Every structure is written in structure tokens, then in C-alpha cells.
Amino acid sequence: MVGGNETVTIVGKGMKKRIAFIAHNQKKAQIVSFAMHNRKLIESLGLDVVTTGSTGDRLEESGLTIYKKYKSGHDGGDIDIASRVVDGKIIGVFFFTDPMSAHPHDSDISSLIITCNIKNVPLATNPRFEFEYGDVTVLEQMKEAVHGCDAIIHLASIVGFPACKSQPALATAVNVEGTRNMLFAREAYNPKMPFVYASTGSVYGKVEGTCIEESPLNAVSLYGVNKRVAEEMVATQDNTVSFRFATGFGVSPCMRVNLLVNDFVYQAMTNKILTIFQADFRRTFIHVRDMAKAFTMGIEHMGNWKHKVYNCGANRLNWTKRELAEYVKEKTGCFVHYEEIGKDADQRDYEVSYNKLEAEGFKCDVDMKTGIDELIKVSPILQIRHQYS
């Protein structure tokens, strides 16, 4: 679910709306089934369907009208589709991939996926995926959305102190009222449904010493305050767990680059210089794949866990900004300038203990060096969008 500031695709007057269907060989039957199930909807919306070669053949055999068939993926069809995404002619892509098989055109597949994310074109790669276009600030929409669900992972948020400061009313509406709406919707449908909430270490604010779950919550930014209030609401409900995540980093299909590690690597690779303030402030990190792992474990095991709130990260990922900058310098050859002016609005300067979650069996798999190596590889193709800045 997303809330507050939706991204929409504008279709010009006279421009025909098109969607793309692509499937690897082991997924052809599934995409045919998916298309037939949604055929009336496609026709009622007046959508033209474009495909790659053999996928189009299978769909035509099943009775679906195909507007255009491009070459097969291994002959450049995926790149053809990506080009149409770039020029705005395709407003959605259904690409049922087979991750268990090798594909000689893997780079074309990756290019199409990244292009969709850069251009904000909806992309579905799993036949069981369903997209609900809604707003967490509208309770009735959330009540409808949770029907048929087995669990809720609540991510919808205006994230970070700059975004919340620039749009404070929107931030509070999404971060606080949106969370309340999700809890109300859950209560109305199934109050025992597992509910995992993505909180943040920003709820701690300025803390002395090592930070544990019982440390005072001294949030100093609107973002930290919003998340603290929302987290307290979640904690009053049964069968819930909240993760106070460390700062995320790492490569993902639609990644944020204004997070500290990601930003350091991008600036080092692009501008060849890092300017660092409060260099000896300590920060704590978690790779995006380990964040996903935590959500899965939260759903599966919360009934056996001893606590409602956990710091989520790894003790070995407590780094100072100086340590991080020097490692990025070592890997990229960039110049590092340490500046005396500037400060972190959340006042995060502490080491965090992750002992409680580790005692429940959680362990981060991705270390900082592996994550930075991945970021260095993808930085040349990144295009930066700061949605709320």
C-alpha cells in the first residue's frame, strides 16, 4: 500500500494505452491463464496488448487480440519493450520470469526491469501478484484491501526527516493516521491476523551509550515522532511486532539513493568526492535483503517471540561515518573532505544492540563490504529521483 503522494501515468489525448505481456518458457501457461482471467478487464479499459514473440503466439492461440508482437526476448524483444516504456507508449508490464533457469540475455531482462522502475511504470513478475491502487489515509479503501489477506506488512510511510519536514501534514496523515487505519481495517476483518510494522531507529533521537529496546525514546524530528506514535499504537494490539530498523542500504529494483551508504557510494562514483560532517557519529545499517528476511520471520514466528518491539540490524554493522567514508574511498579512489559544518536532524550518534532479535534466531546475511561492492557495480546506471525534496 502507498499513501499520500501517488504516482500516476498520464496518457496524452489520442494516445492508445498499451500493456506488455512477456513470459519465459516455463511461465507461458501461467501468463496465458492470467491474461484470460483478466481479458474482460483489459477490453473494458481499452488496452492494447503488446508482447514478445512466442508469448504473443500463445496468447493469440488462446483468443487474445495482440496489437503488436516484438521479437523474442533472446533476439532483443525485451529491449524493444524497454524502449517503448521509455517513450511512454507502455503503461504497465507483466513479465513472468523463470529465476531457476539460465538466460543468455540476462542483461536485457535486467535493463527492462530497471527501466520500468526508473519510469514509474508498474511491473509485475509473479503470477500471484495483485496490485491495489489505494491510499492508507482512506479507511474504507483499507478495509476492502485487507479482505482475503493472511498477514499485513505495513510499510506505507513518508520516510526520513527531510521529506516529513517539507510536507508535515502529509507525513502525519500517512505515518500516523495511515497506521491507525490499517489497524482498524485489520480489526474489522481479522483481529488476529499477523501484523508487522516497519518502524525506525529514529524513534530514539539523541541517546547516550548503547541503544537497547528499553532506551528512552527521545525522537527529535517529525519523522521520529510520527513513527514512535504509530509504533505505540501497534504495540497495543495482539499478534503484532515492530522492527526498529537500522538505516537500509543495498541494491534493489526501486532503490533510494538518499540513504547514507547508497549516497556515499553514488557520490563517490559520480562526483569522485565525499563531503562528510559529524564524521565520528556512529550509525547502524542493514541490507535491504535482510530487511525482507526480517519481515518473513516476523510473520512466521511472532507467536513464539518474547517481545513486541525489536531493534533490527546487526552488531557488526555499527559503523562511524568516518569508517564508512574511508572504506568507500578505499574501494573507489574518491577524495574525502571532512567538514565542520552540518548536522543530522535526527541526532543519531549511538551504537545499537541487536541481541534480542538475534536471540530469536535472526541474523543478517549481507555484510557492509558485500553491499558496497554491489552498489559500485550498479551506480553507473542509476538515475536519481528525490520525490519529496
Q: What are the pLDDT digits (tens) for 136-155? A: 999 999 999 998 899 999 99
| pLDDT on residue 382 | 64
User: Can you give the pLDDT at residue 181?
Assistant: 97
Question: What is residue 134's predicted lDDT score, i.e. its pLDDT?
Answer: 81
Residue-level pLDDT at 131: 62
How far CA 196 is from CA of 73, 140, 349, in Å, comes to 38, 21, 27
CATH, range 139-381: 3.40.50.720
pLDDT of residue 378: 79
Q: What is the pLDDT of residue 173?
A: 96
Q: How far apart are CA 378 and CA 114, in angstroms?
A: 11
Q: For the chain, which residues make up each domain, given as ranges?
A: 18-124, 139-381
- Please give the Cα distance from 122 to 6 (Å, whole number): 12
pLDDT at 7: 30
**Is the domain covering 18-124 a CATH 3.40.50.1380 domain?**
yes
Annotation says 57 is catalytic: no
Residues 48, 57, 78, 367: which is the catalytic one? 78
Supply the pLDDT for residue 8: 28
Q: Please state, in angstroms and rounded to a whole number, the distance separating the CA atoms of residues 150 and 135.
A: 20
CB 255 within 8 A of CB 288: yes
Instruction: Please list the ranges in the chain whose pLDDT falls under 50.
Output: 1-15, 385-389
Q: What is the identity of the amino acid at 66? A: I
Our separate counts of H helices and E strands in the chain read: 15, 16
Q: How far apart are CA 376 and CA 47, in angstroms?
A: 39
Q: What gap in Å lies between CA 382 and CA 368, rounded to an integer?
A: 20
